[in-house]
Structure 1
Amino acid sequence: MSDDPMTQARAGQTRRRGAALEEAILRAAADELTESGYAGLSMDRVAKRAGTNKNAIYRRWPDRLTLGIAAYKQLATTIQAPDTGELREDALELLRRANRHWSSPLGTILRELLAAAGSAQNLAARLPEQSTDAMTAMWLAILGRAVARGEASPESLHPRVATVAIVLLRNEFVTRGVPTAPDEVLIDIVDEVYLPLVRKRGTA
Structure 2
Amino acid sequence: MAGEPTPRQGAGRTRRRGAALEEALLRAAVEELTASGYAGLTMDKVAARAGTNKNALYRRWPNRLALGVAAYRHLARTLPPPDTGDLRGDVLELLRRANRHWSSPSGAILRELFTAAGGTAELLAQLQDQSGETVAAPWLTVLERAVARGEAAPEALRPRVATVAIVLLRDEFVTRGVPSAPDDVLVEITDEVYLPLVRRGPAPG
Q: Distance in 1 between matches of 2:16 and 2:202?
A: 58
Q: Which residue of 1 aligns with 2:157?
A: 157
CA distance in 1, matches of 2:103, 2:120: 17
Q: Is the 8 A contact 2:73 2:130 kept in 1?
A: no
1:111 is matched with 111
The size of the alignment, in residue pairs, is: 194
Give the structure 2 partner of residue 169 of structure 1.
Answer: 169
TM-score using structure 1 length = 0.78
Matched, 1:51 2:51: yes
Q: 1:133 to 1:51 in 2, by over 3 A?
A: closer
Matched, 1:93 2:98: no
> Quick one: which amino acid aligns to residue 39 of structure 1?
A
The structure-2 alpha-carbon separation of the partners of 1:72 and 1:155, relative to structure 1 and needing over 3 Å to count, comes to closer
- The whole-number CA distance in structure 2 between the counterparts of 1:77 and 1:145 is 22
Cα distance in structure 2, aligned partners of 1:154 and 1:104 = 35
CA distances 1:56-82 after superposition (whole Å, capped 9, x unpaired): 322333321232223223322123322
Which structure is higher in helix share?
Answer: 1
Partners of 2:121 and 2:197 lie apart in 1 by: 25
Partner residue, 2:191: 191
Bigger Rg, which one: 1
Q: Tell me the C-alpha RMSD between the 2 structures.
A: 3.1
d(CA) in 2 for partners of 1:202, 1:146: 16
Match of 1:4 in 2: none
After superposing on structure 2, the runs of 4+ consecutive aligned residues of structure 1 that deviate more than 6 Å are: none
Instruction: List alignment gaps of at least 5 residues for structure 2.
Output: 1-7
Which segments of 5 or more consecutive residues in structure 1 lack a partner in the other structure?
1-8
Conserved? CA contact 1:125–1:131, under 8 Å? no
2:119 and 2:145 map into 1 onto residues whose CA distance is 32
Query: Is the aligned partner of 1:17 residue 2:8?
Result: no
Q: CA offset at residue 143 of structure 1?
A: 1.8
**TM-score, normalised with respect to structure 2:** 0.77
Secondary structure at the aligned position of 2:12 is classed as helix
Within 1, Cα distance between the matches of 2:146 and 2:119? Answer: 32
What is the correspondence of 1:62-141 to structure 2 with a 5 Å cutoff?
A: 62-118=62-118, 122-123=122-123, 126=126, 130-141=130-141
Q: CA 1:155/1:47 → structure 2, altered by over 3 Å: closer, same or farther?
A: closer
One-letter code of the match for 2:106? L
Which residue number in structure 2 is paired with residue 3 of structure 1? none
Give the letter aligned to residue 31 of structure 1. Answer: E
SS at 2:106 equivalent: helix
- Partner letter of residue 17 of structure 1? R
Structure 2 counterpart of 1:36: 36
CA distance in 2, matches of 1:51, 1:104: 29
Evaluate the alpha carbon distance shift between residue 124 and residue 137 of structure 1 in structure 2; reply closer, same or farther with a 3 A threshold: farther
Structure 1 residues 62 and 128, CA, compared in 2 at 3 Å: closer, same or farther? same
In the TM superposition, what is the alpha-carbon distance from 1:180 to its structure 2 partner? Answer: 0.8
Tell me, in whole angstroms, the C-alpha distance in 1 between the residues paired with 2:192 and 2:136. 20
Identity %: 69
1:56–1:186 Cα change, 3 Å:
same
With 194-203 and 24-33 compared, the bigger mean Cα shift is at 194-203
Is the 8 Å Cα contact of residues 114 and 120 (structure 1) preserved in structure 2? Answer: no
CA contact (8 A) 1:78 1:129 kept: no
- Give the Å deviation of 1:51: 3.3
| Residue 201 of structure 1: how far off its partner (Å) | 4.2
Match of 2:4 in 1: none
Give SS of 1:13's match. coil
